[in-house]
Amino acid sequence: MKEKGITLIALVITIIVLLILAGVSISMLTGDNGILTQAQRAKEMTEAASEEEYIQLLVIGYNTNKKTYGEELKNIEFNTVENTTSIMDKETGTTYGNGWYYLKPEDVDDYELKNSYIIDYDTGKYLKFDENKHTIVTNELLCISDGLVYSADPKNMTSGDSWGDAILHNFNNGDANSGWKENSLMFDGVDDGIEVKDNSDYSKGITLEIYFMLKGKSTSNMAQILMMKRTNNTNGFFMYLVGHNNNETDDPWMQYGSLGIDIGGSGNRYYPNIIIQENVPTYITYTYDPNKEKEKGVLYINGVKTKTTNLGIIENLINTPLNTPIQIGSDIYETYNPEGDTENRKYPLNGEIYASRVYNRPLTEQEVLYNYNTTLNNK
């Protein structure tokens, strides 16, 4: 009697067929066009559509209750006086700053967001944040913010877009000695200058800070201006370097590079007998406190208390006409000494500025040291 059974060949063929069918089934389930893959894509598309609907609802809700969600973005500017964050598109160079918000999943508690978004609630525009395309740019101030009138820090001097509402005068991109250079501002010693709007109240005093390097003489033999705010030589404040060598005297305050500061007019000018050397980065801080009986003015060099004086008239400082701008690196409008016999009455700076600040109050010794350390650590 013959026994019926499967032959070895038939078994092999059966296994092969089963493997082929299994492979086809797996491919249908998990391949690029597989059922599971398509289902996952459909789920993701549904979630994405739901997220976009949620974002649209946030925009619609803003139009009724003006409530925003997420972190407010702001342009990083030359005279920034607060910490700011913006987002840049690395492909196009577009900056999402003023008017935009950065919404992260943790910023909402009534919906489980999978992605982050950049939103302009006023216009209704929004886009998904892409880590490969977008980069977050932060400007954490390198200085004390209390009383800060304006600040130019190495961290926010990153491009020509960083000037904010400050006005640039005569900077020439084609001049190797004028404009940007690795987080410094270069002044060519001819006519470069910066104008910053300011209507601050200085009745509590003032602090002037500048971190810079003198590179050489300029087209003015008389002076090189570091910073000033005045309409004539009897008001405002003025910080400068002597621009020439006077061979008729050995007095330090008449020598090239000698520092001069006055608060409230040239009749109260303070000459601390400090000579600034060429090509040596120097950090100068000067505070003036009208409420002190002595040492009203304190000069710090590289964060160290160096000299003191009582010179200064607070009334002449605060009586500077409204809308008088702060000028950096030049007397742009030739207001300080319009009748001067010097060839260039702008008194331009030939050098580089790494940081520059003005406060409408006197900083303490500890605050001066803090600003100095944080600025140098980020230059």
- Asked if the structure places residue 21 within a domain, the reply is no
Tell me, yes or no, whether 315 and 172 share the same domain: yes
φ/ψ of 96, rounded to 5, equals -100, 105
Q: Which of 140, 168, 194 is the last residue of a domain?
A: 140
Average pLDDT along the chain: 85
pLDDT digits (tens, 9 = 90+) for 291-304: 999 999 999 999 99
- Asked if the structure places residue 12 within a domain, the reply is no
Instruction: Say yes or no to pLDDT of 146 above 90.
Output: yes
pLDDT digits (tens, 9 = 90+) for 312-356: 999 999 999 989 999 999 999 888 776 665 568 899 999 999 999
- Asked if the structure places residue 8 within a domain, the reply is no
Band (pLDDT 50/70/90 cuts) for residue 42 is very low
Tell me, yes or no, whether 190 and 91 share the same domain: no
Which helix (H) or strand (E) is 46 found in, with range? Answer: helix 35-65
Band (pLDDT 50/70/90 cuts) for residue 285 is very high
- Asked if the structure places residue 29 within a domain, the reply is no
Q: 299 is in which domain, residue-wise?
A: 148-377
Q: Which of 93, 111, 140 is the last residue of a domain?
A: 140
Q: Which of 140, 165, 181 is the last residue of a domain?
A: 140
Tell me, yes or no, whether 225 and 121 share the same domain: no
Cα(166)–Cα(330) distance, integer angstroms: 14
3-state percent helix, strand, coil for the chain, nearest multiple of 5: 25, 30, 50
Tell me, yes or no, whether 117 and 135 share the same domain: yes
pLDDT of residue 157: 62
pLDDT of residue 63: 82
Tell me, yes or no, whether 241 and 349 share the same domain: yes
Tell me, yes or no, whether 201 and 88 share the same domain: no
Tell me, yes or no, whether 157 and 136 share the same domain: no
Band (pLDDT 50/70/90 cuts) for residue 379 is low
pLDDT of residue 325: 95
pLDDT of residue 243: 86
- Asked if the structure places residue 34 within a domain, the reply is no
DSSP labels for 213-235?
Answer: EE-S--S-SSEEEEEEE-SSTTS
Q: What total of structural domains would you count in the chain?
A: 2
Q: Which of 70-74, 153-157, 274-278 has the lowest mean pLDDT?
A: 153-157
Tell me, yes or no, whether 115 and 258 share the same domain: no
C-alpha distances out from residue 92 to 103, 133, 164, 258, Å: 21, 9, 21, 47
Q: Select the highest-mean-pLDDT range: 35-39, 167-171, 285-289, 373-377.
A: 285-289
State the distance between the two ends of the chain, measured CA to CA, in whole angstroms.
99
Tell me, yes or no, whether 155 and 255 share the same domain: yes
Instruction: Say yes or no to pLDDT of 196 above 80.
Output: yes
Tell me, yes or no, whether 130 and 153 share the same domain: no
Tell me, yes or no, whether 103 and 193 share the same domain: no
- Asked if the structure places residue 13 within a domain, the reply is no
Q: The CATH number of the domain where 286 resides is what?
A: 2.60.120.200
Tell me, yes or no, whether 125 and 203 share the same domain: no
